[in-house]
Amino acid sequence: MLTGHQSWTFKNRPVIRGAATVVGPFEGQGPLANDFDIIHGDLRLGQDSWEKAERTLLEEAAKLAIENAGLTQEQVNFFLGGDLMNQIISTSFAARTLTIPYIGMFGACSTSMESLAVASQLINSGSAKFAVASACSHNASVEKQFRYPTEYGSQKPPTAQFTVTGAGASVVAREGEGPIVTQATIGRIVDMGIKDPFNMGAAMAPAAVDTIQAHLRDLELEPGHYDLIVTGDLGKVGYDIACELLEEHKVPIHQTRYNDCGKMIYDYNKQNVQAGASGAGCSAVVTYGHLLKQMHKGELNRILVVATGALLSPLSFQQGESIPCIAHAVAIENKGYANP
């Protein structure tokens, strides 16, 4: 059901029946390592290219999420997902392996919540019984496409972010055990004229703030409604800008806990990640790993995940275009939870 201008309310309460996360070795050295299902010790995952390794990450995450949901691949109606590679090849090739009816999605690093929002809408409307929502990225494949190959050894500025090697997937269902998806807010493009691909946090922060404002306005909520509002991979630079903008727009974010997936996944003191994490896999593995496990323990009961994406391409950058950005928000709640 449409609520307000750009939000959906899911009256039939779609359930995240199963989820799984698969990450690389560097993510396995970070503070959230215990919340990931599979940690690979080899960045190539035994494959002969970075791109094949990224595809493998997603295949493993999707298969394990389906298994955790108590289902078989044949029972899943639709597989939704995307990545950062040209023509979302990692996801499309994974869909070839999974042989599940496929809806490819591209929202850059916002794809994790874009796919979850659309999957929840399919379930809520009765258009599917089971749908997989997913996103993935690989540090070496993304760096090669958008910046410089890892082997080049290029120096990076402090505003740069480190692409996560990881894939996250969830199975959304009409019924079953697990947290429910209650609402989603679809973002609009926000472009502040930034052209620097090494400053993604600053480019994406205004889009995150715009979507948070839209979500609260459409649903007539205060930030304190949530135990946690988390943005997707703004990193330190973007997070600080978002906090300033929220304060400027009189959004009382101090009423709740606010954090960013790009700040959470790595240890700044031990891992050289400049401003923090990025990549389509970042918010996917933090949400489907760490945050859902916190919800299962009752440490969190109601969260809003606002995944952000920079919608540039190597071609648009070469042509001197600025970076259009977007953010999609999804509200997730434990069953039976009510504010004290």
* pLDDT tens sequence across 203-225: 999 999 999 999 999 999 999 99
Other beta carbons within 10 angstroms of residue 187's beta carbon come to 26
Strand, helix or coil for residue 130: strand
- Of the CA atoms within 13 Å of residue 293, those in its CB half-sphere come to 13
In the predicted model, what is the mean pLDDT of the chain?
A: 94
| Average pLDDT rounded to a whole number, residues 300-322 | 94
If pLDDT is split at 50, 70 and 90, which confidence band does 311 have?
very high
Question: What domains can you pick out in the chain, each with its CATH number?
Answer: 2-173 (3.40.47.40), 180-333 (3.40.47.40)
Residues ≥6 apart with Cβ < 8 Å to 222? 216, 252, 255
Q: What is the pLDDT of residues 125-145, one digit of tens each?
A: 999 999 999 999 999 988 766
If pLDDT is split at 50, 70 and 90, which confidence band does 150 have?
low
Q: What is the pLDDT of residues 154-186, one digit of tens each?
A: 667 778 888 999 999 999 999 999 999 999 999
Question: What ranges in the chain are assigned the alpha helix state H?
Answer: 50-68, 89-98, 111-125, 139-146, 200-219, 235-248, 261-264, 280-285, 292-296, 314-318
Q: What is the pLDDT of residues 233-264, one digit of tens each?
A: 999 999 999 999 999 999 988 767 999 999 99
Q: What is the pTM of this model?
A: 0.95
Counting residues of the chain whose pLDDT is more than 70, the rounded percentage is 95
